[in-house]
């Protein structure tokens, strides 16, 4: 991957986004591409037929929502784009903190590996995140220990934010709890 041209890296990243955009446009215009695909496959099992009906129903509802509330869809899409940019900036700062000099394409590729790790059926991507970062850093020609360091920083951030959230929830729960008078046990 280290010798990949930037356009090759971007093609691997932009491809799924282009498919998602094409799917969104199709559904927005009232089409049901997934349901149509499932109808073309000869479904013999009842469970697959139920899945095809559910997909058609879901796509119909999505299409209806997109047509009735286009500003909500555009707003949510822009918010999602801003969130992605913030995540990329955060990850780039993390790599800079570790002394890793990467360009935009490399940062996107390594962040994509980190995000894909959470798709594995493991609690919190435990082990998968670390492996993805080691593999991505190795593929980019960096020391694999830097990948492990990046994943440990990600874990430290997640645990810190989770701990702060628990503390905050505890404070709010104490404030909201009504004062209970002690009761006497009568025998």
**What digits encode the pLDDT tens for the residues 70-79?**
999 999 999 9
Evaluated on CA atoms 29, 11, 40, 73, the torsion sign reads negative
Q: Domain residues of the chain, as ranges? A: 13-68, 84-171
159-186 burial, b at 16+ Cβ within 10 Å, e below that, comes to eeeeeeeeeeeeeeeeeeeeeeeeeeee
pTM equals 0.69
- Residue pair 34/61 in contact by the 8 Å Cβ criterion: no
Look at residue 2 and tell me whether its pLDDT is greater than 60.
no
Task: Give the model confidence (pLDDT) of 118-143 as tens digits.
Answer: 888 888 778 888 999 999 899 888 99
- Among 2-16, 92-106, 107-121, 169-183, the least confident range: 2-16
pLDDT, mean over the chain: 85
- In order, the DSSP letters of 15-52 are HHHHHHHHHHHHHHTT--HHHHHHHHS---SHHHHHHH
- Quickly state the pLDDT bin for 14 (edges 50, 70, 90): confident
Number of H helices, E strands in the chain: 7, 0
Q: What is the DSSP letter of 120?
A: S
């Amino acid at each position: 991957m280290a010798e990949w041209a930037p356009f090759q890296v971007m093609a691997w990243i932009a491809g799924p986004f282009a498919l998602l955009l094409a799917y969104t446009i199709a559904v927005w215009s009232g089409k049901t591409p997934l349901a149509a695909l499932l109808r073309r496959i000869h479904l013999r099992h009842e469970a697959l037929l139920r899945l095809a009906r559910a997909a058609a129903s879901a796509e119909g509802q999505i299409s209806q929502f997109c047509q009735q509330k286009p500003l909500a869809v555009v707003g949510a899409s822009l918010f999602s784009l801003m969130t992605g940019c913030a995540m990329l900036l955060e990850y780039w700062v993390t790599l800079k903190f570790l002394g890793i000099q990467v360009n935009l394409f490399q940062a996107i590729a390594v962040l994509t590996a980190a995000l894909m790790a959470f798709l594995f059926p493991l609690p919190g991507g435990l082990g998968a995140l670390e492996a993805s970062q080691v593999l991505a850093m190795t593929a980019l020609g960096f020391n694999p220990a830097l990948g492990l360091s990046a994943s440990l920083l990600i874990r430290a951030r997640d645990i810190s934010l989770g701990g702060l959230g628990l503390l905050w929830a505890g404070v709010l729960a104490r404030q909201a709890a009504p004062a209970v008078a002690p009761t006497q046990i009568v025998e």
